[in-house]
Amino acid sequence: MQCDCYVIGGYVRDLLLHRPSKDIDVVVVGSGITLAESVAAKWGKGVSLSVFKTFGTAQLKRGELEVEFVGARKESYRSDSRKPTVENGSLEDDQRRRDFTINALAISLNKKSLGELLDPFGGIEDLRNGILRTPLDPDITFSDDPLRMMRAIRFATQLQFHIEEKTFDAITRNKERIQIISAERIADELNKMMMAKHPSEGFFLLDKCGLLSLIFPELSALKGVEVKKGKGHKDNFVHTLAVLDKLSHHSDNLWLRWAALLHDIAKPVTKRWDDQIGWTFYNHNFIGEKMIPAIFKRMKLPMNEKMRFVQKMVSLHMRPIVLSEEGVSDSAIRRLLFDAGDDIDQLMQLCEADITSKNQARVKSHLENFALVRQKLEEIETKDRIRNWQPPIDGLEIMKIFGLSECREVGILKNAIKEAILDGIIPNERQAAYDFLILKAAEQGINPRA
């Protein structure tokens, strides 16, 4: 078609960093859509083509490979929007509008210069030195599109790069501009950052530049240590990030990582001073569980089973710790298995990550106790099959046995069976449950139907 085109951006960066990437961006000096349509015709079967005329882009998909074609362009912005006014431009115009020098690198796909690297802003040197820097004045870059501030911190966390001083200072100056960015786009950057090897680094950077208090005030509220009568509590912000990093070494479950980030989120609102024992945070796990829906809703995180999983982890995270400190009874283990269900292993991972003491003897003691809890969990599950368990006699059968309609007594009897099995009074078997039910009903003057 005799039009110049180049692979550009993240694919080139990752190629040079030897990181896997399946998304390829191709910039075309001309019509990206026309070229994409031509390539799709050449590729033939198994290719899907999506055209976005408003943005002048088209995307090809074949298997796991995605290639996006866009015409080279230059952009201008209004102060109240991150959506630019776009006009056709040169390759260098397109490179100039990129967020960071390491994302402005381009490789020629043209026959006469195939494979040539075009680097007008020193991106290669920044890649070598592990530096994030904007191609143009960072104040303009971040003011035009404030999402780039979040991207800077996310890339720094993912790639273990350093944000150049002038670039970081510009983020601090322009932090208020983040308010024009949608919660969905911010959440997307946070989720990518959360999946880094050491996600804490991103949250420390967000705090340092002032973005954290704007996008996540509840997390920012964890910061600091208050001292009274010579007693201070730990810095719950530092502790939370230590837990997050520790968990991340063992789990790549995004929502378990969110549970780690939120496990102590209610400590600021539950903090109290007690003259006898010092600082307390009573019920912070239960209050934290109640705070999570509002946080997820505001941040446009999913209001579904993923949120409920995070709630469950936050609500239950104190239970194994208390068991490990107070001794392990079969009854307590049954109740923990019943409440945690299939999520018990992930709960234990969270609780083990929650041990961040600098006292190694204390850490060793806690981990040994947790090992005992894990052993008892396996023993009780093998014996009593409590995980995801439902009582062997349900409410409908109770109504049928005694000729009752829906009423308070049915719930009382059903709950009595559950409690008796969890307390080990009767085994988790139908006949034992039936015999117990008849005795309990007789105590309340309820007899089986003739």
| 378-427 pLDDT tens trace | 777 776 666 666 778 888 888 888 888 888 888 888 888 888 888 888 88
Q: Is 326's pLDDT higher than 70?
A: no
- For 29: left if phi > 0, alpha if psi spans -120 to 50, otherwise beta; the answer is beta
Instruction: Please give the class, per CATH, of domain 130-215.
Output: mainly alpha
Residue of 352, 354, 395, 391 lying closest to 374 (CA atoms):
352
Do the Cβ atoms of 292 and 305 come closer than 8 Å?
no
Could you tell me the two tokens for 88?
Answer: 């056709």
Give the least confident one: 188-192, 340-344, 354-358, 435-439.
354-358
Q: Is 322's pLDDT higher than 70?
A: yes
Could you tell me the two tokens for 150?
Answer: 């979040």
Give pTM, 2 decimals: 0.84
What is the band of 214 on the pLDDT scale with cuts at 50, 70, 90?
Answer: very high
Most confident by average pLDDT, 12-26, 69-83, 157-171, 432-446: 157-171
Q: Is 77's pLDDT higher than 80?
A: no
> What average pLDDT does the segment 357-379 reach?
77
What is residue 29's predicted lDDT score, i.e. its pLDDT? 87
Q: Which residues contact 259 (CB under 8 A, 6 or more apart)?
A: 309, 310, 313, 314, 317, 350
Q: Is 20's pLDDT higher than 90?
A: no
Most confident by average pLDDT, 4-13, 39-48, 392-401: 4-13
Architecture field, domain 1-129: 2-Layer Sandwich (3.30)
What is residue 376's predicted lDDT score, i.e. its pLDDT? 79
Q: Which residues contact 419 (CB under 8 A, 6 or more apart)?
A: none
Which residues partner with 118 through β-bridges? 106
DSSP string, 328-395: --HHHHHHHHHHHGGGHHHHHHHHHHT---S-HHHHHHHHHHHHHHHHHHHHHHHHH--TT---SS-H
Domain boundary assignment for the chain: 1-129, 130-215, 249-384, 395-443
CA pair distance 254, 193, nearest whole angstrom: 10
Residue of 367, 390, 375 lying closest to 321 (CA atoms):
367
What is the band of 327 on the pLDDT scale with cuts at 50, 70, 90?
Answer: low
